[in-house]
Amino acid sequence: MRRRAFLAAPLALLAPRAQAADDGFPPVVPGRAFEFPRDHGAHPAFRTEWWYVTGWLEGEGAPPRGFQVTFFRSRPRIAEANPSAFAPRQLLFAHAALADPRAGRLAHDQRAARAGFGLAEAQSEDADIRVEDWSLRRGPGGYAARIPARDFAFDLAFAPTQPVLLQGEGGYSRKGPLAAQASYYYSQPQLAVSGTVARGADGARVTGRAWLDHEWSSEVMAPEAVGWDWVGLNLADGGALMAFRMRGREGASFWAGGALRAADGGVRTFAPGEIRFEPLRHWRSPRTEVEYPVAMRVRAGDLAVEVEPLFDDQELDSRASTGTIYWEGAVRARADGRPAGAGYLELTGYWRPLKL
Amino acid sequence: MRRGAIALALFAGPLWESKGRFVLSLAAIALGVALGYAVQLVNQSAINEFTQAVQALSGSADLQVVGPRAGFDEREYPRLARLPEVAVASPVVEVDARLAGRRESLRVLGLDVFRAALVQPALVATDAADALDTLRPDAIFLSPAAAEWLRAGAGDELRFQSGLGEAAFRVAGILRGAPGRVAFADIAGVQAAFDRLGRLSRVELRVLPGADVAALRARLAAGLPAGVRVERPDAAVERGASLSRSYRVNLNVLALVALFTGGLLVFSTQALAIVRRRAHLALLRTLGVTRRALVAGLLGEALAVGALGAGLGLLVGYALAQAIVRVAGVDLGAGLFRGVEPALGFDGVGAGVFFVLGVAVALAGSLVPALEAGRAAPAAALKAGDEQRPFERLTPVWPGLAVIAAGAAGSALPPVAGLPVFGYVAIGLILIGAIMLMPRAAVAFFGLVRTPPAPALRLAVAQLRGAPGQSMLSLATIVAAVSLLVSMTIMVASFRASLGTWLDQVLPADLYFRTTGAGDSGFLRPADQAAIARVPGVRRVEFIRAQNLLLAGDRPPVTLLARAVDPADPARALPIVGRVIVPAAGAPPPVWVSEPVADVYGFVPGRVVELPLGGRAERFTVAGVWRDYARTQGTVVIERDRYVALTGDRDANDGAVWLAGGADAGAVRDALRSGVSGGEHLDIAAPGEIRARSLRAFDRTFAVTYALELAALVIGLTGLSASFGALVLARRREFGMLRHVGMTRRQIGAMLAAEGMLVGALGLAVGLAAGFVISLVLIHVVNRQSFHWTMELAVPWLPLAAFCATLLAAAALTALFSARAAMADAAARAVKDDW
């Protein structure tokens, strides 16, 4: 799923408003053939698109830390006939966060720009996105992210160790009961991370495991949705698990989905009824009074994993910029009482229903 | 306590007796203080508001890259944004957009919200009902002041003129934090709507913390296209302040004139009061009041008058400032800070300065009379007939000529910081010198007057010849008043005559049209120009392109006019003053500059100068200087063909039409309006209308000087009345005597009227002479250095003659009425008095 809350409303500009079906955006349909590296690049005709990297970092003299780097593209479908080079045909956003248990809360920053002048661009040929001085680029060895943020700086490389994992039905991922409520979605789990993370003057070499999602769509989110839970785990045995559920008014799921790729490469895609999120522990934010189920038991078919946060306070209060509050953090996974992997959990719509 | 009360009664009592003059002195001081303080207050508020507006518009920017009105190539923006020292670069397109169908314009800023949010957060609508409106090309946000002015709210449509067409925007919301009358839209929308594609007006730069701003600035300045500047955002405040400086200084000089007049009135009032109380003051001295205490008491009176007047002046000044701001705006009607809405503050320092000035003037005015009263020997003063003594101190002084000479010499000095300081000093010195020369002039003049046969007139002449000192006070005030009035009249008349001649020179065509009546969003594309040329009845059209150039960072931009000029004979198109140069083949091509450009930038004929055109520094020969009363900041004229070749800009703003033989101006005018697409947006006028409108505007601007002339007249007559009042008091016994020897009341009246006329005539003669000289200083020094305009001297003989006759009659009547009270006394009592 990965419609991350940050992306739900960056500057509130990304909100896809309910529009007639024939709204000028290409539809998302089953059976599309994916073509790489072309499909690593941007699909500017679609309404929204994101490249989302989350993962765990290990470094000398530092405890394990979580990180998140997101680049987001939006086509607002305004001013498309405007001949100005400034015409906001494509908007680009980027967000990054560092989850350091020593800080006890997230450090994060963002960039936003209209595409143009080479200052902010999302190339169509391959993954190559830049928003001012932040960039995410795919090369022969994998991806490279350069994120000089206010409180930290990432200079990270992500090398694939496994092939691309197409989510849903061959990359066609449904988000709701209607066929149109869908996206094109693939993941790159088990990325090998190397590079530096600087906080202040000292840059430290790090390694780790990450997960990249690339997803694009023109879809209208189901009107009954108030939020969603999403989890993506790099399993210790080399497998990968993604699961999400859409929550309705009463907090109940009305749609869900997920996939498990076993260490041997066999992929199992789950039907909505096979995915369950069971809260194990809640944490109440002292700043916003919002309560999040930060520990969960996630059931996907006959698999059950328990996820527990790296630390509780991984809340993002971005009311000033994006108008919402959500929780997105690094989590450890256990299965049958034993460590089973690590990844990221996203919890949205616990503050207020996400307005889309 | 008791002594204080007695002193108060002794000093304040007489003051109260002459309350008319007391009130006038008070009023003059109050007027001076009020005028000065109001100007100071209004300007202070304007600067404050302007500073705040600039701060809001530039936000946290450390540097600003600014182009002329035509803007600069937008490709500079990514180059600036990528500089390692630059944290954020925020591009801005600014248009002074004319409201469709109105004669007003609104400042429209095109912004990139993503950049502006980081540099100028006050200009970004974070609470817009639909956030996409900050990006939609047709959505516009208004400042609260603009919304109020336009009576527009969310959902309303705003239409602007763009070229000869219209651009429509939908009001998407009100921006609470936006300063002044201003509107904001997306940069792409503004570029497209106002034909500014590819152009930027400025880029605001926020520099990374710790970066060397000065070094970056220097490096940037070297790499920018010609005509594009990099500066601190507050440079705009300096430019704004320099725009209004000449106006402010001249208004302050008027305030000083009012104060000076107040001082003169205090002087005449005090002198009269002291004459009147001579015996009374002498009595105080014999009763033990020391000389020092007496002088202190008299000065105390002046202090009271000064403090009262100044205090009143501050109050009136504050009220005046409020009225000015409400009616004329903070720029005193000069149109400089349009859209800035000031809140008047209390300016403590300014108030203090003008209060002290008011009090000082009153003290200075009473210093001479008070010292004189203190110097008088009590015994002599107690006797009657000693009244003439005070004025004898003021008898001939040769230094008068030296003072005038010093003034004349000073007027040749150059301006100080762009202000005609020495011009004003010269005027002051000429005035003072003329007054200092009056005693000698009086003796000579009255000696020359033939003794008339009629006894009353004979007595009048004899009186003036025998005691010329008595008329000194009247003479001084008349000379001061007349010379100020005459000089102002001559200057304004010269200006008006020169303006009339100039208008005839610059309006040779049959019809004129313009798109620049308000704002800078109107213009004529080549297709529009062709359509105009095709209108039936049009024989020839000449188009003018108006742009601007920033020639110095601390000065407002000058106008650049591209129009047809024949380099061999530029005088046919322009009112050239001085010599003309025809550049030799191979020399840089010609430009013709208006007088302010020649004065301020030293662009004298023959000089080769560089002008930023089309992003490059181009070399030109200054081929002549012309007179341009229409644009105060200066104008540079270039041949239009050359301008098009250098810039590729084929648009035009204004033009002139010559009609085909037999074509009717009215019909062609209608055809321009209806036959040209968008022709209804053209302002079209016949030369006669422009001429009349310009002269009307001139008269309106100078209406204040007519009021000042009236004030000068009243002051002169007040001085005359004060001094005649004193004379008549002193001569009460003489009148009684004359009645006894058989003169009728009527005859005594005739005698006094004659005296008044004679004094008036002398004062008038000297005042005319001094006024003429001062008018030369005003025309050739003050005006030239303040506004850099030359003009030809034109003496308005008829109005001046009428004025002379009026003043003579008024002088006679004033003398007569001042004497009335005295003549009402019974003749017997007057003679008995003190004998």
The answer to whether B197 contacts A84, with C-beta atoms less than 8 Å apart, is yes
| For A90, nearest residue in chain B (alpha carbons) | B135
Share of chain B above pLDDT 90, in %: 33
Is the pLDDT reported for residue B497 higher than 90? yes
More confident residue, B324 or B823: B324
Pick from A236, A273, A235: which is nearest to A256 by CA? A273
Contact criterion met (CB < 8 Å) for A82 and B188: yes
> Per-residue pLDDT averaged across A127-151, rounded?
95
Q: pLDDT of A11-31, one tens digit each?
A: 444 444 444 445 788 999 999
Rounded Cα gap, residues B602 and B580, in angstroms = 16
Predicted confidence at residue A60, as pLDDT, reads 82
How many angstroms separate the CA atoms of A174 and B782, rounded? Answer: 82
Q: Choose between B408 and A280: higher pLDDT.
A: A280
Residues of A in contact with B75 (CB under 8 A): 117
Q: Read off the pLDDT band of B641 (50, 70, 90).
A: very high
B114 touches chain A (CB under 8 A): yes
Question: Within an 8 Å CB–CB cutoff, is residue A118 touching chain B?
Answer: yes
- Taking CA–CA distances from A91, the nearest residue in chain B reads B114
Q: Which DSSP symbol is given to B630?
A: S
Best mutation target among A84, A92, A93 (most B Cβ atoms within 10 Å) is: A84
Confidence of residue A109 (pLDDT cuts 50, 70, 90): very high
The residue ranking higher by pLDDT, A288 or B755, is: A288
Phi, psi of B475 (to 5 degrees): -60, -45
B77 with A117: Cβ contact below 8 A: yes
Q: Please say if the pLDDT value at position B386 is more than 50.
A: no
Q: Which residue type is seen at A343?
A: G
Between A and B, how many residue pairs show a Cβ–Cβ distance under 8 A?
Answer: 67
Contacting residues of B for A76, CB less than 8 Å apart: 132, 135
Whether residue A114 and residue B91 make contact (CB cut-off 8 A), yes or no, is: no
Contacts of B132 in chain A (CB under 8 A): 13, 76, 78
- Measured between CB atoms, does B191 come within 8 Å of chain A? yes
Closest CA to B117 of A94, A113, A48, A151: A113
Please report, rounded to a whole number, the percentage of residues in chain B having pLDDT higher than 70. Answer: 87
pLDDT tens digits, B411-463: 888 888 778 888 888 988 998 888 888 877 887 888 787 777 777 778 888 87
CB-CB neighbors (< 8 A) of A85 in chain B = 74, 188, 197-198
pLDDT category at B155 given cuts 50, 70, 90 is very high
pLDDT band at A106 (very low <50, low <70, confident <90, very high): very high
Instruction: Indicate the burial class of B353 (C-beta count within 10 angstroms; 0-12, 13-18, 19 or more).
Output: middle
Contact list in A for residue B137 (CB cut-off 8 A) is: 78-79, 82, 87
In which region does residue B338 sit, left (phi positive, over 0), alpha (psi from -120 to 50) or beta (all else)?
A: beta
- Give SS3 for A341: strand
Q: What ipTM describes this predicted complex?
A: 0.90
Q: Which of A128, A127, A125, A132 is nearest to A147 (CA)?
A: A132
What residues of chain B lie within 8 A of the CB of A113, using their CB? 114-115
Domains in chain A (CATH in brackets) are 7-13+37-347 (2.40.370.10)
How confident is the model at residue A223, as a pLDDT? 80
Q: What is the DSSP letter of B679?
A: G
The identity of residue A194, as a single letter, is S
- The alpha carbon of residue B777 is apart from the nearest alpha carbon of chain A, in Å, by 55
Contact B78 A118 (CB under 8 A): yes
**Stretch B252-260: mean pLDDT, rounded?**
75
- Tell me the C-alpha distance between B196 and B188, whole Å: 9
Asked which of A56-60, B242-246, B830-834 is least confident by mean pLDDT, the reply is B830-834
Condensed to tens digits (0 to 9), the pLDDT of residues B552-598 reads 877 888 999 999 999 999 998 899 998 999 988 889 999 999 999 99
**Pairing relationship of beta strands A240-247 and A182-199 according to DSSP bridges:** unpaired
Q: Within an 8 Å CB–CB cutoff, is residue B198 touching chain A?
A: yes
Contacts of A87 in chain B (CB under 8 A): 137, 188, 192
- The answer to whether B604 contacts chain A (CB < 8 Å) is no
Distance from CA of A132 to the nearest CA of B (A): 8
CB atoms within 10 A of CB B517: 18
| Residue recorded with tokens 């527009």 | B152
Comparison of pLDDT for B59 and B618, the residue scoring more: B618
Torsion of CA B722, B727, B730, B736, to 10 degrees: -120
Rounded average pLDDT over B242-261: 72
Residues A292 and A283: beta-carbon distance below 8 Å: yes
Integer Cα distance of B472 and B769 in angstroms: 18
Q: Which residues of B are less than 8 Å from A15 in CB distance?
A: 131
* pLDDT given at position B294: 78
Which of A13, A86, A113 is facing B191, going by the closest CB pair?
A86
**A178 close to B (CB below 8 A):** no
- The pLDDT of residue B381 is above 70: no
Taking only residues 72 to 111 of chain A, the set having a beta carbon closer than 8 angstroms to any beta carbon of chain B reads 76, 78-79, 82-88, 91
Judged by CB atoms closer than 8 Å, whether chains meet at B137 and A114 is answered as no
Q: Which of A78-82, B191-195, B785-789 has the lowest mean pLDDT?
A: B785-789
Smallest CA–CA distance, residue A169 to chain B, in Å, is 34
CB contact (8 A) between residue B135 and residue A88:
yes
- Residue A47 C-alpha, separation from nearest chain B C-alpha, in angstroms: 14
User: Rounded to a whole number, what is the distance in Å from the CA of B200 to chain A's nearest CA?
Assistant: 11
Asked if the C-beta of A356 comes within 8 angstroms of chain B's C-beta atoms, the answer is no
pLDDT at B378: 62
State the CB neighbour count (10 A cutoff) for residue A33.
7
B114 to chain A nearest CA, in Å? 6
Flag whether residue A31 sits within 8 Å of chain B, measured between CB atoms: no
Counted residue by residue, chain A has a size of: 356
For B638, other C-beta atoms within 10 Å of its C-beta total 24
- Window from A351-355, B130-134, B352-356 with minimum mean pLDDT: A351-355
Number of other CB atoms surrounding residue B821 within 10 Å: 12
For chain A, report the end-to-end CA distance as a whole number of angstroms. Answer: 15
Chain B neighbors of A84, CB-CB under 8 A: 187-189, 191-192, 197
| B404 vs B397: CA distance, rounded Å | 13
pLDDT of A113 reads 94
| pLDDT score recorded for residue B18 | 62
Q: Please write down the HEC assignment for all residues of B202-266.
A: EEEEEECCCCCHHHHHHHHHHHCCCCCEEECCCHHHHHHHHHHHHHHHHHHHHHHHHHHHHHHHH
Cβ distance of B82 and A78 shorter than 8 Å: no
CB contact under 8 A, B192 and A11: no
For residue A297, give how far its alpha carbon lies from the nearest alpha carbon of chain B (Å). Answer: 38
More confident residue, B701 or A122: A122
- Cβ separation of B82 and A119 shorter than 8 Å? yes
Question: How far from chain centre, in Å, is Cα B808?
Answer: 31
Residue A51 has a pLDDT of: 96
Q: Residue B207, Cβ neighbours under 10 Å: how many?
A: 19
Cβ–Cβ below 8 Å for B137 and A79: yes
Count of alpha carbons within 13 angstroms of residue B619, beta-carbon side? 7
Q: Does B74 touch chain A (CB under 8 A)?
A: yes
CB atoms B186 and A118 under 8 Å: no
